[in-house]
Structure 1
C-alpha cells in the first residue's frame, strides 16, 4: 500500500493545465479550497464533483493516481466519519443496541468525505502537472511582497519544494524497510488495526535516521555548490503568463459563475 502513494509526484504531459503558469494554478487552487470549505448543499457538491471530473479529464491523469492520492487519509476519513455517525444527534435512521445513527450524522459524514476528497484531489493537480522546481519559483514569485518585511521568501519556498520532493523518497524508503522487515518474518497485513499499527513502530527509527541522513547529504551538496539563499540567483526558465493561462482562467471563471448561480438558487 505504501508504494502506491502518489502524493508529490509529477506526471509528465502536455495538456492545457501542464502548460499553464504555476502561479495561475496555485492561485486558482487556493480559491477552490475556499469554495470547497464553504459549500454545504448537495447541488453545490455535485457541481464541484463535475468540475473536478472535467479537470481530471483535461489533465489526462490516470484515475489510479486519484485513488492513490486519497489512500493516505482514508483511515482518518473513516474514523472521523464513524465518530460523526455516532455522536451527531437528530432523527434516528438506524439503531443497533446502544449505537444510534441519525440522518443528520449521515449527511455530515457524506459531506465531510466529499469535502476532503475534493480538496485532496484538486490540490494534487498542482504536483501532478507542475515540476517541483517550478513550484518553488512560483511560490517565491507570489510571496515576493513579503521581502519588504524581511521574510526569507526564497528559503521558505525552497523548504516547501524540498518537502514535496521528499515525500516520494520517504515513501520509497518506507517500502524498502517494509520488505526488509518482511523478509525477517515481520507481518504488516495480518491481524486487526491495532496489531498492524504496532507492526509499523519498528520502522520509525530507521526511517527517521534515513530522513536525517538524506537531509544532511542534501545540505552538504548545496553547500558544495555554494548555495547561499536567493540573493543574486538567476533561473534557467523565467515564469511568464501565456494564452494558456487566459484559457484556464476563463474556464475557472465559468465555474465560479455557475457556482454563484447555484448558490443563489439554493439559498
Structure 2
C-alpha cells in the first residue's frame, strides 16, 4: 500500500452534521479552549475532562473513524517517538532495564501523558479542517482578525496565506507520491536499500518536490491575477456568518471544561 494512501490532512469531508453546520468562527474560537484544556490537564480527572469534548466532537462530526486514522498516518512516528524518548531519558525508578537501556516509571508516565496530549491536539485540528471548507476558514479567520486591521495588520492576506498553506498539504502529498512512483519505475526507492541509498533517494525526492511547489505557487499567483484579485480592496463577503444557539452552547461547554481542568490542576 502506498505511503500517502488516503492521507486526509487539510482536506474537507462533506457532511451535514452539527459540527459541519456550526459557524466557522465558533470552531476557530473553540481551538484555544481545547488547547488550554489539553495543556493544563493534570491527574486522571483533568485528562478525562480534557478528552471528553474531543471524543464527543469525533462522534458529532459524523466522519468515519478510519478517516482520522489515515489522516494521522504521517504523524504516528512523531507520536510514538516522543514518549519513547521521554521514557528512556527521564530519571526515576526503573520500570524495565536491559543493559544500558533504562526505562523509568516516571519517564513512561510522562511519555504517555505527552502521547495523549499530542493526540488530542492533532485530532481537534483535524476535526476543524475536515468539517469546514477552506473558503469558510478563510472568511472566518479574516472576520476574527478584523479588529487588528486598524493597527495595520493585513488580515485578509494573512487569512488567505494560512488557508492556501493548509490546502496545499494534500497537493504536496499527491505530488510526492507521483515522484516516488516515478523513481520506483526507474529502479530507485526511498524504502529499500542501504542508508546512503535511501538518503540519496530522499534528496532526489525533495528537489523535484520543491520545484513542483514553486511551480504550483506561480500558477496560483497567475490564476489569482487573471481573476483580478487585489486583496480585500473593494471586496464584499458572499456569505454572512451569524452565531446561533448551538455555537454559543459549544463554546460555553468548552469554556466550562477549560475552567474545570484548570481547577483540578490547582488541586493536584
Same fold (TM over 0.5): yes
The residue aligned with 1:41 is 43
Shift of 1:79: 2.7
The answer (yes or no) to whether the contact 1:88–1:104 under 8 Å persists in 2 is yes
CA distance in 1, matches of 2:150, 2:247: 28
TM-score (norm 1): 0.91
Shift of 1:257: 6.2
CA distance in 2, matches of 1:18, 1:144: 23
- Across the aligned residues of Structure 1 and Structure 2, the Cα RMSD in angstroms comes to 2.1
Runs of 4+ in 1 over 4 A off after TM superposition: 191-198, 260-264
Quick one: which of 154, 159, 162 aligns to 1:160? 162
The residue aligned with 1:124 is 126
Shift of 1:21: 0.4
The CA deviation string for residues 5-64 of structure 1, in whole angstroms up to 9 with x for no partner, is 211000001111110101100111111112211212233223333332211111011111
Gaps (5+ residues) in structure 2? Answer: none
Gaps (5+ residues) in structure 1? Answer: none
Shift of 1:71: 2.2
The answer (yes or no) to whether the contact 2:180–2:189 under 8 Å persists in 1 is no
Quick one: which of 161, 184, 192 aligns to 1:182? 184
The number of aligned residues is: 266
Aligned CA distance change for structure 1 residues 124 and 137 (closer, same or farther; 3 Å): same
The CA deviation string for residues 229-261 of structure 1, in whole angstroms up to 9 with x for no partner, is 112111221112123313433443564465467
When structure 1 is superposed on structure 2, of 189-198 and 79-88 the one drifting more is 189-198
The residue aligned with 2:111 is 109
TM-score (norm 2): 0.91
Aligned CA distance change for structure 1 residues 197 and 235 (closer, same or farther; 3 Å): farther
CA distance in 2, matches of 1:180, 1:98: 43
SS in 2 for 1:244: helix
